[in-house]
């Protein structure tokens, strides 16, 4: 039994990104290409629709702090939702916020050019989930406890 090309594997956020993700900028509509002629004719911009789910596509630029290769650390995540997803966390720095994704899937792809090809993934999510408070390393390392 073969796995079909374009199969999307469901994956837990913590397994895919153990150090989390940082969203840079905002979530924007993923619009179809509009040629110069289309713009001149005043044709409306159309948002892409996912062929599998039938939902609108949105996109956001993210950075994976756990990625060691700088060229692969930043990429785009595609959101599949009828309405624009809104992040649940506050900005850590202007334009940057830590995020966790809900309904995450990964689709394997080949990246690179010529002799320099490598395996990469297209990540899709259904939205954001509230970031869980992770225990800090300093509290667990010092053995802080409230019991006396």
First to last CA, the chain: 59
* Residue appearing with tokens 């990964």: 106
* Residue appearing with tokens 């060691």: 68
C-alpha 36/C-alpha 59 separation (Å) is 23
Can you give the pLDDT of all 148 residues of the chain as single tens digits? 678 888 999 999 999 999 999 999 999 999 999 889 988 998 899 999 999 999 999 999 999 999 998 888 999 999 999 999 999 999 999 999 999 999 999 999 998 888 989 889 999 999 998 755 554 444 444 444 444 3
pLDDT at residue 86 in the model:
93
pLDDT at residue 1 in the model:
60
pLDDT at residue 145 in the model:
42
Number of other CB atoms surrounding residue 75 within 10 Å: 17
Determine contact, residues 22/96, Cβ cutoff 8 Å: yes
Determine contact, residues 129/102, Cβ cutoff 8 Å: yes
Determine contact, residues 107/7, Cβ cutoff 8 Å: yes
C-alpha 98/C-alpha 91 separation (Å) is 7
pLDDT at residue 46 in the model:
93
pLDDT at residue 112 in the model:
87
pLDDT at residue 20 in the model:
92
* Residue appearing with tokens 């039938």: 54
The whole-chain average pLDDT of the chain stands at 87
Determine contact, residues 50/88, Cβ cutoff 8 Å: no
Partner residues linked to 100 by β-bridges: 129
pLDDT at residue 133 in the model:
53
């Amino acid at each position: 039994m073969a796995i079909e090309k374009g199969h999307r594997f469901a994956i837990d956020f913590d397994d895919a990104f153990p150090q989390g993700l940082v969203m840079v900028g905002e979530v924007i509509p993923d619009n179809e290409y509009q040629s110069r002629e289309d713009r001149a004719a005043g044709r409306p911009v159309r948002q892409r629709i996912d062929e599998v789910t039938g939902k609108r596509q949105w996109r956001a630029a993210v950075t994976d702090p756990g990625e060691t290769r700088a060229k692969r650390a930043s990429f785009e995540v595609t959101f599949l939702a009828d309405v624009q997803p809104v992040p649940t966390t506050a900005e850590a720095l202007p334009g940057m916020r830590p995020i966790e994704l809900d309904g995450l899937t990964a689709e394997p792809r080949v990246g690179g050019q010529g002799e320099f090809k490598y395996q990469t993934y297209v990540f899709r999510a259904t939205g954001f989930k509230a970031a869980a408070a992770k225990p800090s390393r300093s509290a667990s390392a010092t053995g802080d406890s409230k019991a006396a």
